[in-house]
Chain A
Amino acid sequence: KNQVEQSPQSLIILEGKNCTLQCNYTVSPFSNLRWYKQDTGRGPVSLTIMTFSENTKSNGRYTATLDADTKQSSLHITASQLSDSASYICVVSAGGGADGLTFGKGTHLIIQP
């Protein structure tokens, strides 16, 4: 069964600090991996989409990495801001078929002033 595991479940850091969120997956075949940001009570918003051949992708202060060999991804947030407080969801696509997307349960990040 395809699975996406995220860690930690929750994280609290001080404003201005960096942090890294982890995503491990067992999805086959692999098409792409996405990171979404979900503010409390709002819909998820896409941060990055990475295909098999991409190792690193940045979106402002957000940098995602992908190691397709070990089936791991990370999302690094640099110089955190209060607005980064949100849940971050890792989603892996199996590439075609009716059940193509597998969602992680998310990491809840809190930035404290």
Chain B
Amino acid sequence: EAQVTQNPRYLITVTGKKLTVTCSQNMNHEYMSWYRQDPGLGLRQIYYSMNVEVTDKGDVPEGYKVSRKEKRNFPLILESPSPNQTSLYFCASSFRDRNTGELFFGEGSRLTVL
């Protein structure tokens, strides 16, 4: 089954404790992206990757890091989480020409930073 898998789905952590949210897709997509979704603000792009070893900042990259060492994986790293990073996070993927291709989303990871 074609899917984008995120882990963990739910996480409560404390300020400053490094964490990684994993994202994996099995559709051989070149393009992968991370979004955060907050009430009243909609989906906002954090980072994206057009292919292996190629990453770029989105609209709200501060406080986040990403890596793309393999085509199927695109982890989101919070080196020192802060309460304002409490949010619902989504990973998405599509074929490289993403502006005409369908974007597939994961099920989301709800992060709470105390």
Within 8 Å of chain A (Cβ to Cβ): is B84?
no
Q: Complex Cα distance A59/B111, Å?
A: 33
| A window 12-32: CB within 8 A of B | 31-32
Chain B residues closer than 8 Å to A89, beta-carbon distance: 42-43
Output the nearest chain B residue to A44 by Cβ-Cβ distance: B105
| B window 66-114: CB within 8 A of A | 88, 90, 92, 98-100, 102-108, 110
Interface residues on A, range: 20 to 34
The distance from the CB of B66 to the nearest CB of chain A, in whole angstroms, is 15
Output the nearest chain A residue to B102 by Cβ-Cβ distance: A46
The reply to whether A43 and B42 contact each other, CB–CB distance below 8 Å, is no
Chain A residues closer than 8 Å to B98, beta-carbon distance: 100-101
Is the contact region of chain A dominated by helix, strand, or loop, or is it mixed? loop
The reply to whether B42 and A103 contact each other, CB–CB distance below 8 Å, is yes
The distance from the CB of B29 to the nearest CB of chain A, in whole angstroms, is 14
Within 8 Å of chain B (Cβ to Cβ): is A76?
no
The reply to whether A43 and B102 contact each other, CB–CB distance below 8 Å, is no
Q: Complex Cα distance A82/B54, Å?
A: 43
Contact of B99 among A43, A45, A100 (CB under 8 A): A100
Within 8 Å of chain A (Cβ to Cβ): is B12?
no
The distance from the CB of B14 to the nearest CB of chain A, in whole angstroms, is 23
Within 8 Å of chain B (Cβ to Cβ): is A113?
no
A-binding residues in B (CB < 8 A): 4, 40-45, 48, 56, 58-59, 88, 90, 92, 98-100, 102-108, 110
22 A-B residue pairings within 8 Å (CB atoms)? A34-B103, A41-B110, A42-B107, A43-B106, A43-B107, A44-B43, A44-B90, A44-B105, A49-B102, A89-B43, A93-B99, A93-B100, A94-B99, A98-B48, A98-B56, A99-B58, A99-B59, A100-B98, A101-B98, A103-B43, A103-B44, A104-B42
The 7 A-B residue pairs whose C-beta atoms are closest, nearest first, are A43-B105, A105-B42, A93-B99, A100-B99, A103-B43, A31-B99, A44-B105
* Extra 12 A-B pairs, beta carbons < 8 Å, given A41-B88, A43-B92, A93-B99: A32-B99, A32-B100, A41-B110, A43-B106, A43-B108, A44-B105, A46-B103, A49-B100, A103-B43, A104-B42, A105-B41, A105-B42
